[in-house]
């Protein structure tokens, strides 16, 4: 008889790649010389299929499942093993109630659209300062034949984590109560679970995969962590900008071209790795 799994409430992030076709200044996980950690280093690992299997196996071993499992990066559609990772996650659907892919939508080749059919939801990040292509996607109809929930996230500003407004009073409870990440950005890794992206980046105050009780208590805790004392919410923000404007403009145009090519010609004339343009 199949054992009943213990449900972890909230949304859990599985970062599978540290490659991206955009170079956003201040990105909380992939800041190429920007503001997040003042060093401009890549702060997440690249996960192979075997790494993902190791993480999911912990859920199976401990009889755990999550409300929502989000696959993201970087840009997850550039991962060479995305199809295999997706197939494996579908095989282990007892580990979640909803499977979501978070993408910037600039790599919607025919192959990627086929993979999307395995997801319950796709979240498309839109960068108005770079260009808003929601109409391109909606008018193309490329997602209408896929039984999937679609949500757009407008990324017109980026948070400057740890920087506070001088005229606002902060304390750890205020920061905790105002923070959206504590329930929407719990982060999965090979070593364990982190309550937010910032803790994952800094590899601090997480919980390992030793036992289910510790993980459940950590995931459902309703009080601040030590890092909350200096992670101020609301934090200062900057308008979205790029560390490589020319590259990102080219990649945006290529992304729109992919959408139009798939829609008009009903075939994938543009390889889904060609937009990884790293040049200036």
The structural domains of the chain, with segments of one domain joined by +, span: 7-265
Q: Which helix (H) or strand (E) holds 245?
A: helix 245-265
Average pLDDT over residues 91-110: 96
Q: Please give the share of the chain, as a percent, with pLDDT higher than 90.
A: 67
| Between 103 and 267, residue with greater pLDDT | 103
Q: Which two tokens stand for residue 65?
A: 């499942």
pLDDT for 145 equals 80
Assess contact for 7 and 59: CB atoms under 8 A: no
pLDDT for 2 equals 67
Say whether domain 7-265 belongs to CATH 3.20.20.70: yes
Please write the tens of the pLDDT for every residue from 41-61.
Answer: 677 889 999 999 999 999 999
Please write the tens of the pLDDT for every residue from 177-233.
Answer: 999 999 999 999 999 999 999 899 889 999 999 999 999 999 999 999 999 999 999
Please write the tens of the pLDDT for every residue from 134-166.
Answer: 998 988 888 988 889 999 999 998 888 888 899
- Residue 261 contacts by C-beta under 8 Å, 6 or more apart in sequence? 267, 268, 269, 270
């Amino acid at each position: 008889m199949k054992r009943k799994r213990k449900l972890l409430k909230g949304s859990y992030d599985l970062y599978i790649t540290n490659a991206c076709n955009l170079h956003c200044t201040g990105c909380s996980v992939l800041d190429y010389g920007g503001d997040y950690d003042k060093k401009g280093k890549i702060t997440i690992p690249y996960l192979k299929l075997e790494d993902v299997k190791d993480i999911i196996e912990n859920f199976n071993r401990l009889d755990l499942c999550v409300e929502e499992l989000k696959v993201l990066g970087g840009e997850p559609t550039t991962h060479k093993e995305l199809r295999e990772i997706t197939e494996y996650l579908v095989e282990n659907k007892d580990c979640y109630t909803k499977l979501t892919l978070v993408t910037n939508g600039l790599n919607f080749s025919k192959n990627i659209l086929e993979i999307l059919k395995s997801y319950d939801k796709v979240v498309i990040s839109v960068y108005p300062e770079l260009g808003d292509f929601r109409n391109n996607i909606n008018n193309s109809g490329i997602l209408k034949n896929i039984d999937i929930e679609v949500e757009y996230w407008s990324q017109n500003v980026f948070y400057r984590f740890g920087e506070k407004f001088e005229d606002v009073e902060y304390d750890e409870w205020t920061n905790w109560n105002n923070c959206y990440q504590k329930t929407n950005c719990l982060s999965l890794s090979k070593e364990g679970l982190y309550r937010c992206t910032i803790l994952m980046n800094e590899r601090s105050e997480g919980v390992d995969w030793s036992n289910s009780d510790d993980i459940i208590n950590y995931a459902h805790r309703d009080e601040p962590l030590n890092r909350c004392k200096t992670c101020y919410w609301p934090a200062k923000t900057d308008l979205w900008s790029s560390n490589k404007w020319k590259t990102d403009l080219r990649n945006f145009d290529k992304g729109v071209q992919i959408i139009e090519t798939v829609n008009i010609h009903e075939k994938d004339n543009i390889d889904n790795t060609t937009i990884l343009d790293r040049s200036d």
